Amino acid sequence: MDVPINNFKGVMLCNRPNENVMIVKEKPFCSRVQPYDQWGLTKKYEEPKVIVPQTNPALERHKKWLEEFKLQNQIKKHAKEELQAREDEKFLRVREQAKKDREVTKKMKEDYKQMNEIIKKELSEEVPKSKTVALTAENLKKLEDKDSKVESKAGDKKKRYKTKPVWAMTKEEEEQHMKNEEDELLNFVDNLDYDSYINDLEVNVMLKALQQRITEIKKQDNQQEKPDNLPEQKQEQREPDIYDKISQSLGKNDEARSVHSEKTQNSINQLRKKQEQLEQGKQDWDKTTSNGDQKASLEDRIAKHVADEILNQYKNLSNIHSNSSIRKILEREAKKTLLETGLPGPVISVIKNEKMPRDPNTLPYLHRNPAI
C-alpha cells in the first residue's frame, strides 16, 4: 500500500517495503556517442516479408487423385470381402444341404434293400414246386384253351397294326387296302341317308348356286343366238342396287377379300330375289310378329345377314367383333366405294410464308469501304 508519511506524525516507521523502485525507461540526454550506438540516421521500419510456399498444381491434382484412388480401392476391397463372405455362407449352406440329402438317399437305399429282401423271401416261400402232370383229357383241354388265348392275343396285335402306312406296304397289301377302301365306299353309298344331307344348309346353298349358274349359262347361250335383240337387252339391264354395291365393296376391300365367299354371294342373290318378289306383289308369308312400323329396313337386314355369315364362317372374329361392329364396318366400306365413284372434291392447299434466315454475305454494310 502506498500510504503517505504525513499521516503518521511523530512516529518513526519503516517504509522500505512500500517504496517501489522506479525504473527509468528513457535514458537522459547525452551529447556524446556511446560506443555501442549506431552511427548515422535510424533505418526505416520495414515489415517482415511473408514467404508464401510455392505450390505445384499438377502435384496437387496428383495428390487429390491418389486420395480418390485410395478411397476407391478401399470401397472395392470392402465389397469384395462382403461378396466372399456371402459365397462362403452359400457354400456352407449347400454343403449342409448336400449332407442331409446324402443321408436321406442312403437311408432310402437301405430301406429299398430291406424291402427287396423281404419280398424275395415271401416269393421264395409262396412259389410252389414243379409238379408232374398226367396226360389226361382234362389237362389236354386246358392246354388247348391256353393256346387259343395266345392266338387271340396275336390277332389283337395284328388288328393294332392294321392301319399300316401305304409307303410301308407291299404290292399285295396295297391292292388289298384299295379293295377294302372301295368296299367301304360302296357300303357308305348303300347306307346313305339322302334326307339328312338334303336338309343341310350348305348343300341347299350349293344347289342353288349350281341352279343359278345353269340359268346364267342358258341366258348367255340365248343372247349369242339372238344378237339382234339389243333394245330388249337394254331394258333387261337394271341399275346397280344396294346388293351390287355391297358385293363390290366386299370384292374391292383388301381386308374383306377373304369374306367375299360363295356363300355370301349366294345369300345376297337370295335377298335380291325376295326384293323382286316383293316389288311384283309375290310376298311370301312373313313369320315375324313385329308391326310394320317396327320392322327393320331392308338394308339393315342385308347387313345383319352378311355379318352373321361372316361370324359363322370365321369363328376367330367373334372374339374381336360383334354383329353390330361388323355391320358398321360393312356400311363404312360401302360408303367408301360410293364416295370413290363420285366427283373428286376441291384440292385445298395451305401456303405458309416463313421468313428465311438472312445470309451474312448479303448485308448492306459489308462492302462500303472504298478500298475493297
Position 22 confidence tier, pLDDT thresholds 50, 70, 90:
low
Q: 0.75 exceeded by the pTM? A: no
pLDDT at 113 over 80: yes
If phi > 0 it is left, if psi is from -120 to 50 it is alpha, else beta; for residue 51 that is beta
pLDDT score at 59: 92
Domain locations along the chain: 241-278+297-338
Alpha-helix residue ranges (DSSP H) falling in the chain: 57-126, 137-160, 171-190, 194-198, 201-225, 230-236, 242-252, 262-280, 298-313, 323-341
Percentage of residues in the chain having pLDDT higher than 90 = 14
Q: C-alpha distances in angstroms, 52 versus 49, 63, 333? A: 9, 20, 91
- Top pLDDT among 46 and 160 is at 46
Task: Count other C-beta atoms under 10 Å from residue 263's C-beta.
Answer: 17
pLDDT score at 265: 64
pLDDT at 206 over 90: no
pLDDT score at 105: 92
pLDDT digits (tens, 9 = 90+) for 290-333: 444 444 566 677 777 777 887 777 777 677 777 777 778 777 77
pLDDT score at 332: 78
pLDDT digits (tens, 9 = 90+) for 65-81: 999 999 999 999 999 99
CA distance 159 to 107: 48
State the amino acid at position 222 in one-letter form.
N
- Of the spans 28-37, 216-225, 256-265, 342-351, which averages the highest pLDDT? 216-225
pLDDT at 349 over 50: yes
pLDDT at 43 over 50: yes
In this structure, are residues 278 and 227 in contact, taking their beta carbons and an 8 Å threshold? Answer: no
Three-state secondary structure of 2-41: CCCHHHCCCCCCCCCCCCCCCCCCCCCCCCCCCCCCCCCC
pLDDT score at 93: 94
Under DSSP, the state recorded for 292 is T
pLDDT score at 342: 59
pLDDT score at 253: 44
Phi, psi dihedrals of residue 239, rounded to the nearest 5°: -75, 150
pLDDT at 121 over 80: yes
Q: C-alpha distances in angstroms, 233 versus 219, 220, 226? A: 11, 12, 10
